[in-house]
Amino acid sequence: MTRVTRFSGRDPGPTARVAGFIAHLRDNGMRLGVAEAELSLEALCATNATTPDTCRRALRAVCTGCKDDAERFDALFDSYWMDAGRVKQKLTKSTPPSANDGVHSSRKGRGQDANAAGSAVAPDDDQGEADSNGTGKLVATNLRNLSRRDLRDLVHADEIAAAEAVARRLGAALRDRRSRRRRAARKGDRLHFRKTIRRSLATGGEPLELLRKRRPDRTRKIVALCDVSGSMGAYSQTFLAFLTGLMRADTAADAYLFHTRLVRITEALRDKDALRAIGRMSLMADGFGGGSKIGLSLQLFADTYARRFVDGRSVVLILSDGYDTSPPDLIDEALKKLRKRGCRIIWLNPLKGWRDYQPVAAGMAAALPHLDLFAPANTLADLAALEKELASL
């Protein structure tokens, strides 16, 4: 049983503690504001929370907004209120928080567990003595600090702009006309009877104005999976710029990185500042440039994210060279599962551009029967050239 944190005598009271807790959550990456702090207090009053568990439940309902947050919440709660996760640090002068403090990945914060510069109402340590302000650091989750390569060194802002233009054109090429339902439109192929009758009320029941409807264009959703293993090192620059551009051009797109693990980077790439987005992505891609487990990653994708985000309107774009350290039948099985969801699968292989290239890598050979399009791509120009082929899919 964990102990409840004892707060020092100088602590200004429960309201400040709750505010401190919200700040703690914010430091750990949850997007919460003053409104949530207020609501948390109301919630604690409303539940008449006297036991830690009730508090925990009430605050969880208020402060979390999705499953991932809800799962992390317990650890964060313990670290603040239950005296766990307390990390003693040498008394060093903390750097003043920078303007974009809410983002984990500012360079100053690199290598630290969180960009938290300590809160004014930090809980005290075991001896019951209050810590000096601003140096205590609350750590809820054991983030491993592996050697990271900063992806920002690979990608430049102008490349992202160029990639964005390419991604926009590819997105437009993938648009197709498949909807069964008709919607009102000025230049439609059929009459919209209901609207016509409604409008005819204005003219005494004479349908003077004929309204039309048509099948609307439906955008295809692009789901991109990018291999960032060691063998892809030379092409990562192009593909990462493309991914960033894609996410900025198309709000429905979805992006993932994989090497030995699969990481969803959609949220990170939606950051308004393009370079900051890449910074966040590099934090998520621990082990970037290592080995690759394409089969396992694809399988994980097919079993988890694909169930939520891939449907008949999706195009799954795999950017990989097909050199895999897991058995090839995993790829076969994973792609089979993906296919069943009714999506199109496109595999862009940088090696295919080479003369005399044969898809002999076992993984690539296993994937071939499931692909709608297997094309070379190792520069942005190559990606742009795909436009025509994508339109004919």
Partner 1 sequence: MSWTELQTALAAEGYVASDDLAVALQLAVSLERPLLLEGAAGVGKTEVARTLAQARDTRLIRLQCYEGLDAAQAIYEWNYQRQLLSIRAAAEDGETGAAVEARIFSREFLLERPLLAAITQEVTPVLLIDEIDRADEEFEAYLLEILSDYQVSVPELGTITATTRPIVILTSNGTRDLSDALRRRCLYTYVDYPDHATELAILKARCPDVEARLAAQVIGFVQKLREEDLEKTPGIAEMLDFAAALMGLGIADLTANPSVLQATLTTLLKTQSDQAQITPEVAERIAGRAA
The C-alpha atoms of residue 198 and residue 204 are separated, in whole angstroms, by 11
**CA 330, 335, 339 angle in degrees (round to 5)?**
155
**Least distance CB 43 / partner 1 (angstroms):** 5
**Least distance CB 149 / partner 1 (angstroms):** 29
The DSSP 8-state label assigned to residue 112 in this structure reads S
Closest CB to partner 1 among 334 and 377? 334
Closest CB to partner 1 among 11 and 78? 78
**Least distance CB 61 / partner 1 (angstroms):** 4
**Least distance CB 159 / partner 1 (angstroms):** 27
Number of H helices, E strands in the chain: 15, 11
| Residues at the interface with partner 1 (CB under 8 A) | 31, 35-36, 39, 42-43, 46-48, 53-54, 57-58, 60-62, 64-67, 69-71, 181, 194, 197-198, 201, 205, 303, 308-309, 311
- Burial class of residue 291, CB neighbours in 10 A (0-12, 13-18, 19+): middle
Q: What is the enclosing helix (H) or strand (E) of 264?
A: strand 262-264
> Residue 106's closest CA among 271, 306, 246, 319?
271
**Least distance CB 181 / partner 1 (angstroms):** 6
Closest CB to partner 1 among 143 and 197? 197
**Least distance CB 263 / partner 1 (angstroms):** 16
Closest CB to partner 1 among 49 and 362? 49
Closest CB to partner 1 among 47 and 237? 47
Closest CB to partner 1 among 70 and 157? 70
The C-alpha atoms of residue 368 and residue 223 are separated, in whole angstroms, by 19
280 contacts 148 by C-beta, under 8 angstroms: no
